[in-house]
Structure 1
Amino acid sequence: MAVNIPGVIAVVVFYVLILGTGLWAARKSRKAERNSHGNRTEVVLLGDRNINLLVGIFTMTATWVGGGFILGVAEAVYSPKMGLVWALMPIHYMVSFIIGGLFFAKPMRNKKYVTMMDPFQIKYGNVLSGALVLPSILVDVLWVSSTLLGLGATMTVILDMPYAYCVWISSAVAIIYTLLGGLYSVAYTDVIQLCLVFLSLWLCVPFLLLNPISTNIAHTAFNHTFQKPWVGTLEQDKVWKWIDDFLMLGLGSLSFQCFHQRTLSASSSRTAQLTCYAAAFFIAILGIPPALVGAVGASTDWNLTLYGSPSPYVRGEPSLILPLTLQYLTPSFISMIAIGGVAAAVMSSTDSALLSATSVFSSNIYKNILRKQASDNEIQWVIRVTVVVVGLVGTCITFYTNSPLVLWLLGADVSYTLIFPHLVTVLFFKVTNGYGAMVGYIIGLTVRILLGENLIGLPVVLHLPGCTLEEGVYVQKSPVRTVSMLCTLATILVFSSLTFFMFNHGLLPERWDIFKVKRNVAMCPVDPITQNLKEKKEQEAESDAECDENRHGVVLQPIM
Structure 2
Amino acid sequence: MIIAGVALFVLALLMAGVYAARKVQGSSHNYLLAGRTLAVPVVAILLASQAIDSNGILGNTDLSAAFGFWAGAALPIGLALCLIIAGLFFAKPMREYRIVTLPDFFERRFGRSIEIPAAILTVLAFGILVAGNLVALGFLLDRFAGIPYTAAILIAIPIVICYTIAGGMFSSSYVGIGMIIVNIVGMLALFGWMITTYGLSAPAGLGPLDLSQLTSADEGAVINWATIVALALGNLVAIDLMQRIFASKCPRTAQKACFGGAALILAICIPFSLVALTAVTVLGDEVANGPVLYTLLSDYAPPVLAIIVLSGIVTASLTTASGVLLSCSAVITRNILQLGRTASLDTAHAMTATRIAMIPMALLGAFVALRIPQTGILLTLTFDLLLAGLVVPFILGLYWTSRGTISAAMAAIITGVTVRVGLFVLTPTIYGVDNTLLYLDNGLLTAAMDGWSTFLAAGASLAAYLVVALLTKPVAPVGAPPADAVVVTAPEPVGARV
Please indicate the TM-score interval, normalised by the length of the shorter structure: 0.7 to 0.9
Given candidates 412, 416, 427, the residue that maps to 1:440 is 412
Q: Note the C-alpha offset of 1:371.
A: 10
Report if aligned partners of 1:151, 1:342 keep a CA contact under 8 Å in 2: no
Please give the alpha-carbon distance, in whole angstroms, between the structure 1 residues aligned to 2:297 and 2:148.
18
Any idea what SS the aligned residue of 2:102 has? coil
Report if aligned partners of 2:340, 2:347 keep a CA contact under 8 Å in 1: no
Please give the alpha-carbon distance, in whole angstroms, between the structure 1 residues aligned to 2:142 and 2:309.
13
Please give the alpha-carbon distance, in whole angstroms, between the structure 2 residues aligned to 1:153 and 1:477.
26
Counterpart of 1:481, as a letter, is T
Rate the CA distance shift 1:458–1:59 in 2: closer, same or farther, 3 A: same
Report if aligned partners of 1:126, 1:369 keep a CA contact under 8 Å in 2: no
Report if aligned partners of 1:137, 1:360 keep a CA contact under 8 Å in 2: yes
**Is residue 27 of structure 2 the alignment partner of residue 29 of structure 1?**
no
**Is residue 19 of structure 2 the alignment partner of residue 64 of structure 1?**
no
In structure 2, the residue matched to 1:247 is 229
Q: Note the C-alpha offset of 1:112.
A: 0.6
Please give the alpha-carbon distance, in whole angstroms, between the structure 2 residues aligned to 1:288 and 1:490.
35
**Is residue 331 of structure 2 the alignment partner of residue 345 of structure 1?**
no
In structure 2, the residue matched to 1:395 is 366
Number of residues of Structure 1 aligned to a counterpart in Structure 2: 464
Q: Note the C-alpha offset of 1:260.
A: 0.7
Cα deviation, 1:288-334, whole Å, max 9, x if unaligned, reads: 342133112212253xxxxxxx4433xxx4x5111001112212332
Report if aligned partners of 1:217, 1:296 keep a CA contact under 8 Å in 2: yes
In structure 2, the residue matched to 1:52 is 39
Alignment of 1:353-364 (within 5 A): 353-364=324-335
Compute the TM-score of the two structures, normalised by the length of structure 1: 0.76
Q: Note the C-alpha offset of 1:459.
A: 5.4
Compute the TM-score of the two structures, normalised by the length of structure 2: 0.85
Please give the alpha-carbon distance, in whole angstroms, between the structure 1 residues aligned to 2:447 and 2:359.
40
In structure 1, the residue matched to 2:483 is none
Q: Note the C-alpha offset of 1:477.
A: 6.8
Please give the alpha-carbon distance, in whole angstroms, between the structure 2 residues aligned to 1:217 and 1:65.
22
In structure 1, the residue matched to 2:157 is 171
Q: Which has the higher contact order (CA 8 A, sep 6+)?
A: 2
Alignment of 1:358-373 (within 5 A): 358-367=329-338
Q: Note the C-alpha offset of 1:137.
A: 0.6
Cα deviation, 1:165-211, whole Å, max 9, x if unaligned, reads: 54344432322131121111111111112222222232222333333
Please give the alpha-carbon distance, in whole angstroms, between the structure 2 residues aligned to 1:201 and 1:155.
21
Report if aligned partners of 1:437, 1:492 keep a CA contact under 8 Å in 2: yes
Any idea what SS the aligned residue of 1:357 has? helix
Q: Note the C-alpha offset of 1:418.
A: 0.9
Cα deviation, 1:19-44, whole Å, max 9, x if unaligned, reads: 211122111121xx5xxxxxx32221
**Is residue 463 of structure 2 the alignment partner of residue 490 of structure 1?**
yes
Rate the CA distance shift 1:367–1:462 in 2: closer, same or farther, 3 A: farther
Any idea what SS the aligned residue of 2:472 has? helix
Q: Which has the larger radius of gyration?
A: 1
Given candidates 66, 73, 78, the residue that maps to 1:92 is 78
Rate the CA distance shift 1:521–1:487 in 2: closer, same or farther, 3 A: closer
Alignment of 1:451-490 (within 5 A): 451-452=423-424, 453=427, 454-455=429-430, 456=435, 458=439, 473-476=446-449, 479-490=452-463
**Is residue 63 of structure 2 the alignment partner of residue 76 of structure 1?**
yes
In structure 1, the residue matched to 2:486 is none
Q: Note the C-alpha offset of 1:444.
A: 1.6
**Is residue 168 of structure 2 the alignment partner of residue 193 of structure 1?**
no
In structure 1, the residue matched to 2:262 is 280
Report if aligned partners of 2:28, 2:346 keep a CA contact under 8 Å in 1: no
Counterpart of 2:216, as a letter, is Q
Q: Note the C-alpha offset of 1:341.
A: 2.1
Please give the alpha-carbon distance, in whole angstroms, between the structure 1 residues aligned to 2:142 and 2:271.
21
Q: Note the C-alpha offset of 1:370.
A: 10
Q: Note the C-alpha offset of 1:142.
A: 1.1
Report if aligned partners of 2:51, 2:57 keep a CA contact under 8 Å in 1: no
Report if aligned partners of 1:186, 1:351 keep a CA contact under 8 Å in 2: yes
Please give the alpha-carbon distance, in whole angstroms, between the structure 2 residues aligned to 1:195 and 1:155.
23
Q: Note the C-alpha offset of 1:108.
A: 0.8
In structure 1, the residue matched to 2:200 is 217
Q: Note the C-alpha offset of 1:114.
A: 0.8
Given candidates 283, 290, 294, the residue that maps to 1:323 is 294
Please give the alpha-carbon distance, in whole angstroms, between the structure 2 residues aligned to 1:172 and 1:15.
15
Rate the CA distance shift 1:147–1:123 in 2: closer, same or farther, 3 A: same
Rate the CA distance shift 1:149–1:25 in 2: closer, same or farther, 3 A: same
Q: Note the C-alpha offset of 1:163.
A: 3.0
Please give the alpha-carbon distance, in whole angstroms, between the structure 1 residues aligned to 2:113 and 2:357.
21
**Is residue 112 of structure 2 the alignment partner of residue 139 of structure 1?**
no
Cα deviation, 1:258-315, whole Å, max 9, x if unaligned, reads: 111111111111000010011111110111342133112212253xxxxxxx4433xx
In structure 2, the residue matched to 1:14 is 9
Please give the alpha-carbon distance, in whole angstroms, between the structure 1 residues aligned to 2:367 and 2:226.
30
Cα deviation, 1:140-177, whole Å, max 9, x if unaligned, reads: 21111101211221332233333345434443232213
In structure 2, the residue matched to 1:541 is none
**Is residue 378 of structure 2 the alignment partner of residue 407 of structure 1?**
yes
RMSD: 2.8
Please give the alpha-carbon distance, in whole angstroms, between the structure 1 residues aligned to 2:410 and 2:316.
37
Rate the CA distance shift 1:351–1:373 in 2: closer, same or farther, 3 A: closer
Any idea what SS the aligned residue of 1:367 has? coil
In structure 2, the residue matched to 1:117 is 103
Counterpart of 1:209, as a letter, is I
In structure 1, the residue matched to 2:491 is none
Cα deviation, 1:394-451, whole Å, max 9, x if unaligned, reads: 2343222221122112112111111211211221122111111122222222222333
Report if aligned partners of 1:158, 1:335 keep a CA contact under 8 Å in 2: no
| Identical residues among aligned pairs (%) | 22
Rate the CA distance shift 1:477–1:7 in 2: closer, same or farther, 3 A: closer
Q: More displaced, 96-105 or 373-382?
A: 373-382
Please give the alpha-carbon distance, in whole angstroms, between the structure 2 residues aligned to 1:371 and 1:460.
49
Please give the alpha-carbon distance, in whole angstroms, between the structure 2 residues aligned to 1:321 and 1:240.
24
Rate the CA distance shift 1:462–1:51 in 2: closer, same or farther, 3 A: farther
In structure 2, list runs of 5 or more residues that go unmatched: 479-498
Please give the alpha-carbon distance, in whole angstroms, between the structure 1 residues aligned to 2:317 and 2:447.
35
Please give the alpha-carbon distance, in whole angstroms, between the structure 1 residues aligned to 2:90 and 2:443.
34
Q: Note the C-alpha offset of 1:375.
A: 8.5
Counterpart of 2:14, as a letter, is L
In structure 1, list runs of 5 or more residues that go unmatched: 1-5, 34-39, 303-309, 464-468, 502-516, 523-560
Any idea what SS the aligned residue of 2:390 has? helix
Report if aligned partners of 1:136, 1:415 keep a CA contact under 8 Å in 2: yes
